[in-house]
C-alpha cells in the first residue's frame, strides 16, 4: 500500500534518506564487516561532498546522480532484519489473547494465586462496567 507524502522534504532529509538506503544496500552486498566499513567510509565521503555544496541546482543534480547510481546497483535480495516485515521472524511469536487464561486448569492457576485473584477482580469490575453501559445480557441472546 502506497503512502501519501504529507510534507515537503528538505535537502538534508532527502540526502539522509538516500544515504541510509545506500548504506543498507552496501550491507546487503558485503558480509565482512571490515570490507563493508571501508565501502561505507568511501560512500560517506561522497555524500559529505554533496552536503557541502552551496548551489541548489548542482546539489539537486548530484543528488539525482547518486539516486540513479543506487538504482543501478541495488541488491536483488536486500538484507532484511529478522523482526521487520519481510524478515524471517516477523510475527512469529504471537501473543495469545486474554481469554486463553480462562481455560487454564485449576492446578495451573494455583501456581499464580495473586495474579488470578487480581484478574478475577478486574473481570468482575469490567463486567459491572459493561452492564452499566450496555445493560445486562438476556438469556435469549446467548448462543450456547
pTM of the model: 0.63
Q: How far apart are CA 24 and CA 28, in angstroms?
A: 6
Is the Cβ–Cβ distance between 35 and 87 less than 8 Å? no
Please report which confidence band the pLDDT of residue 4 belongs to, taking 50, 70 and 90 as the band edges.
confident
C-alpha cell, 103 = 481455560
Please report which confidence band the pLDDT of residue 144 belongs to, taking 50, 70 and 90 as the band edges.
low
Q: Up-side HSE of residue 88: CA atoms within 13 Å toward CB? A: 2
C-alpha cell, 110 = 494455583
Encode pLDDT of 111-124 as tens digits.
999 999 999 999 99
DSSP 8-state class, residue 112: S
- Smallest CA-to-CA distance from 46 within 58, 68, 34, 63 is with 63
Amino acid at each position: 500500500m502506497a503512502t501519501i507524502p504529507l510534507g515537503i522534504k528538505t535537502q538534508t532529509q532527502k540526502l539522509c534518506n538516500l544515504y541510509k538506503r545506500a548504506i543498507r544496500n552496501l550491507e546487503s552486498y558485503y558480509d565482512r564487516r571490515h570490507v563493508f566499513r571501508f565501502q561505507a567510509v568511501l560512500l560517506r565521503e561522497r555524500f559529505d561532498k554533496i552536503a557541502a555544496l552551496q548551489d541548489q541546482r548542482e546539489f539537486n543534480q548530484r543528488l539525482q546522480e547518486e539516486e540513479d547510481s543506487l538504482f543501478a546497483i541495488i541488491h536483488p535480495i536486500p538484507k532484511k532484519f529478522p523482526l521487520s516485515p519481510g524478515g524471517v521472524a516477523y510475527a512469529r511469536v504471537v501473543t495469545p489473547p486474554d481469554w486463553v487464561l480462562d481455560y487454564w486448569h485449576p492446578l495451573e492457576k494455583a501456581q499464580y494465586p495473586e495474579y488470578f485473584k487480581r484478574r478475577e477482580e478486574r473481570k468482575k469490575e469490567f463486567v459491572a462496567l459493561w452492564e452499566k453501559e450496555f445493560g445486562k445480557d438476556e438469556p435469549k441472546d446467548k448462543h450456547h
